[in-house]
Amino acid sequence: MGLFDSIKQPSANTGGNRTEEIVFDRLPDTLEEFKAMPQAALATPFQTAAMTVLAFCFYPQNPQLSLEMVNYLRGPRPLSGYDQSFIKDRFRDSDYVPRSYFEGATPQNDYQPQAPYRVRVSENPYSYQNQGYATLYIRSGGADSPRSVQLRLAKDGKWYLWEQFILVGIRQPESQNPWA
């Protein structure tokens, strides 16, 4: 019996067109509050993907706290110096990108979501092609196509953040766009 055989995991043949809405009633103020959130159990790849959005939302105000949150989501594989430098560079001119993944956050309202904060995470028929991994998708209010997040299932049964592609360019908020 293999490492992942005892853990129920969707396969590429099960349809794979499910979307889950992960709801955060409030935003945490500390790493401890972040870890205490129900979604921080990382029991599903959908939860971990949504928690990734939440963690990056803290970067503009508190980069250290944000990186600690991301490291929690990465489990036994913390961010490297290169990873941290890459994240810092992504926030140089666009601190609004992570907020754009909350439902209702659009360029027209300067990516200001309303509480409760909702993140819709989707799978597709190819999301579980590689054993122990899931590639899920999150739609941004400022992009035409969803962005991917890859999660990895560990032997403790938790889904950890493996790779993210959510810190990419999107449309500017109207308040910053001279052409809007």
Q: What is the pLDDT of residues 60-92, one digit of tens each?
A: 999 999 999 999 999 999 999 999 999 999 998
Q: pTM value?
A: 0.90
Examine residue 136 and state whether it is found in any structural domain, yes or no: yes
The DSSP code for 71 is H
- Give the per-residue pLDDT at 180: 66
**Can you tell me the distance from the alpha carbon of 23 to that of 119, in angstroms, rounded to the nearest whole number?**
7
Mean pLDDT of 86-115: 95
Where helices occur in 43-156 by DSSP H, the ranges are 45-57, 63-74, 81-90
Distance CA 165, CA 106 (A): 19
Q: Above pLDDT 90, what percent of the chain?
A: 85
Nearest Cα to 106, choosing from 137, 142, 139, 138? 142
114 falls within a domain = yes
Six token digits for residue 153:
């299932």
Both tokens of 15, joined, read 């349809």
159 and 152 Cβ atoms separated by less than 8 Å: yes
22 pLDDT more than 60:
yes
Q: Which residues contact 84 (CB under 8 A, 6 or more apart)?
A: 67
Which residues on neighbouring strands pair with residue 177, listed in sequence order? none
Asked whether residue 147 is domain-assigned, the answer is yes
Is the pLDDT at 112 greater than 60? The verdict is yes
How do beta strands 159-164 and 147-153 pair?
antiparallel
In this structure, is residue 9 part of a structural domain?
Answer: no
Tally of structural domains, the chain: 1
Which pLDDT band holds residue 7 (cuts at 50, 70, 90)?
Answer: very low
Confirm whether 139 is domain-assigned: yes
Specify if 91 maps to a domain.
Answer: yes
Query: Does the pLDDT at position 102 exceed 90?
Result: yes
Among residues 50, 53, 132, the alpha carbon closest in space to that of 99 is found at 53
Residue 178 within any structural domain of the chain: no
Structural domain range at position 25? 19-170
**Does 128 have pLDDT greater than 80?**
yes
Residue 133 lies in a domain: yes
